[in-house]
Amino acid sequence: MQKLIFLILALGFLSCKNQKAESVNQTVGEEVKIEYASGFSITEFENYSLLKVNTPWPEAEKPFVYLLYSEKSKIPENIQYDQKVQVPVESIVVTSTTHIPALEALNEENSLAGFPGLDYISSEKTRKIIKSGNISELGQNENINTEVLIDLAPELVIGFAINGSNSSLETIQKTGIPVMYNGDWTENSPLGKAEWIKFFGALFSKKELAASIFEDIKTEYLNAKDLAGKADETPSVIAGSMFRDNWYMPYGNSWQAQFFEDANSNYLYSDTRGEGSLSLAFESVLEKAEDADFWVSSGQFTSYEELISESEHYNRFRSVRNENVYSVSLSKGETGGIIYYELGPQRPDLVLKDLITIFHPGLLKDHEPVFFKPLN
* Residue 157: CATH number of its domain: 3.40.50.1980
Strand partners, 70: none
pLDDT of residue 23: 38
How many Cβ atoms sit within 10 Å of the Cβ of residue 326?
23
Q: Alpha carbon of 261 to those of 224, 247, 271, 324: distances in Å? A: 12, 21, 12, 18
- Asked if residue 304 and residue 176 are part of one domain, the reply reads no
pLDDT of residue 27: 63
Name the region of 107 (left: φ>0; alpha: ψ -120 to 50; beta: rest): left
Cβ proximity of 89 and 71 under 8 Å: no
Which of 217, 239, 266 is the endpoint of a domain?
217
- Asked if residue 338 and residue 360 are part of one domain, the reply reads yes
Say if 225 falls within a structural domain.
Answer: no
Instruction: Find out whether the peptide bond into 154 is cis, omega within 30 degrees of 0.
Output: no
- Asked if residue 186 and residue 57 are part of one domain, the reply reads yes
Say if 12 falls within a structural domain.
Answer: no
Nearest to 192 by CA among 38, 31, 354: 38
pLDDT of residue 25: 42
What is the residue range of 369's domain? 231-374
pLDDT of residue 18: 45
pLDDT of residue 165: 72
Which of 168, 193, 217 is the endpoint of a domain?
217
- Asked if residue 210 and residue 80 are part of one domain, the reply reads yes
Amino acid at 351: V
Instruction: Report d(CA 283, CA 199) in Å as an integer.
Output: 44
- Asked if residue 241 and residue 201 are part of one domain, the reply reads no
- The CA radius of gyration of the chain, in Å to the nearest whole number, is 25
Say if 4 falls within a structural domain.
Answer: no
What is this structure's pTM? Answer: 0.90
Say if 78 falls within a structural domain.
Answer: yes
- Asked if residue 290 and residue 181 are part of one domain, the reply reads no
| Averaged pLDDT in 10-residue chunks for the chain of 376 residues | 44 45 57 96 95 91 94 87 96 97 98 96 96 95 88 95 79 92 94 98 98 98 98 96 90 95 98 92 95 91 91 93 95 94 97 98 93 95
- Asked if residue 149 and residue 82 are part of one domain, the reply reads yes
* φ, ψ dihedrals at 22, nearest 5°: -65, -40
Which of 170, 192, 217 is the endpoint of a domain?
217
- Asked if residue 290 and residue 194 are part of one domain, the reply reads no
Say if 17 falls within a structural domain.
Answer: no
